[in-house]
Amino acid sequence: MENNHENFKSVIAIIIASFFWGTTGTAASYAPDISSLAIGAFSMGIGGVLLVITARKKLLIDYKVMLKQPKILLLGAASVAIYPLAFYTSMRLSGVAIGTVVSIATAPFFAAILERLISKKCISLQWILSFVVGAIGITLLTLGKDQSDNTAYSVNQQSLGILLGCIAGFTYAGYSWAARSLIESGVHSTSSMSGLFGCAALLLLPSLWFTGDNLFSSSTNTLVSLYMAIIPMFLGYLLFGFGLNFIDASKATLITLIEPLVATVLAVFIIGERFKVIGWVGVALVLLCLLMQTIKTQKQLQMN
């Protein structure tokens, strides 16, 4: 009973984190003069520093266990460092909705491959069905972009944005898998997440010397920069780390498909991006994918 309850709380924590993450593209659109590299490096870098400060006591206990797994630690840290750079540039090139959708939608596929090839975990039929439904939904959402609106992007821009979105999805899966692997080895979830993000911050923050000129050039830019670092990155990843305590990375990344839904709704109603009917059918399928991942937990709670 208790394990099911913790499982359910983990799902809810990841859903809330996904809502936070879904606001990042819209928030970044209010500061177009900040480069995508700078906003990514600052938000993830400062978020990493805050995570380290919050988890410092647990890190002092767990760091030796983490250092015994240098390959996992380095893979996770490198993935964290690359992810925001690819993610925010993808949104700049292909639009908030498509950039977010591709980045997040490809992550479950890569996460399942990593778990199968490295951790030797079986892929469940429920996951396969959920992924198929989600993948179809993501495809329809991408095809459903109305290119007649004022936010249309060139074919070359959108293609490069989609490619960077796939790279973001791979690195997202990479650090999710690394965090989960560290947790399974006995590292606390807050230590795992903060350790990876802290190492990535060492790579990301120095890059601001070259890219961060406009981060605080106006009150709007300052608010956007601080919001991105504190809410989606710091609080979001605290919740995500808690969720990884009880569910696998492949399922966690699949649940985060709610992020592109939030991003799409905000892009439509705030930024002005438009989608055809087929795009909204895709939204419905992604919602169904999310439901397929959470319905089992709810049933188990009712049975117990």
Q: What would the pLDDT profile of 74-129 be if each residue is shown by its tens digit?
A: 999 999 999 989 998 998 888 887 788 788 777 777 877 877 777 677 777 877 88
Greatest extent of the chain over all pairs of C-alpha atoms, in Å: 57
Cα 283 to Cα 265: distance, rounded to the nearest angstrom? 10
Residues in the chain: 304
pLDDT, averaged per 10 consecutive residues of the chain (304 residues), comes to: 71 90 88 88 91 90 89 92 91 82 78 75 77 82 66 69 90 88 86 90 91 88 93 89 79 78 84 82 80 56 43
Cα 119 to Cα 115: distance, rounded to the nearest angstrom? 5
* Residue 275 bridge partners (DSSP): 145
Task: Say if residues 31 and 184 touch (Cβ distance below 8 Å).
Answer: no
Q: Which of 205, 225, 203, 206 lies closest to 214, judged by CA?
A: 225
* Residue 145 bridge partners (DSSP): 275
Predicted local distance difference test score (pLDDT) of residue 8 = 82
Task: Say if residues 260 and 101 touch (Cβ distance below 8 Å).
Answer: yes
Q: What percent of the chain has pLDDT over 70?
A: 89
Cα 213 to Cα 224: distance, rounded to the nearest angstrom? 14
Predicted local distance difference test score (pLDDT) of residue 211 = 86
How far from each other are the two terminal CA atoms of the chain, in whole angstroms?
Answer: 6
Phi and psi at 144, nearest 5°, equal -85, 5
Predicted local distance difference test score (pLDDT) of residue 80 = 92
Predicted local distance difference test score (pLDDT) of residue 198 = 92
The region that residue 120 occupies, defined by phi over 0 for left and psi between -120 and 50 for alpha, beta otherwise, is: left
Predicted local distance difference test score (pLDDT) of residue 273 = 78
Q: Find tokens 């949104």 and name the residue.
A: 91
Q: What percent of the chain has pLDDT over 90?
A: 21
Three-state DSSP class for 145? strand
List all residues 6 or more positions away from 273 whose beta carbon is below 8 Å from its beta carbon: 95, 96, 97, 145, 146, 149, 151, 264, 267
Residue 217 DSSP label:
S
CB neighbourhood size of 54 (10 A)? 15
Cα 149 to Cα 36: distance, rounded to the nearest angstrom? 23
Residue 233 DSSP label:
I
Predicted local distance difference test score (pLDDT) of residue 300 = 45
Q: Which of 22, 45, 37, 88 lies closest to 266, judged by CA?
A: 22
Predicted local distance difference test score (pLDDT) of residue 181 = 87
Q: Which of 290, 280, 297, 294 lies closest to 258, judged by CA?
A: 290
Predicted local distance difference test score (pLDDT) of residue 297 = 44
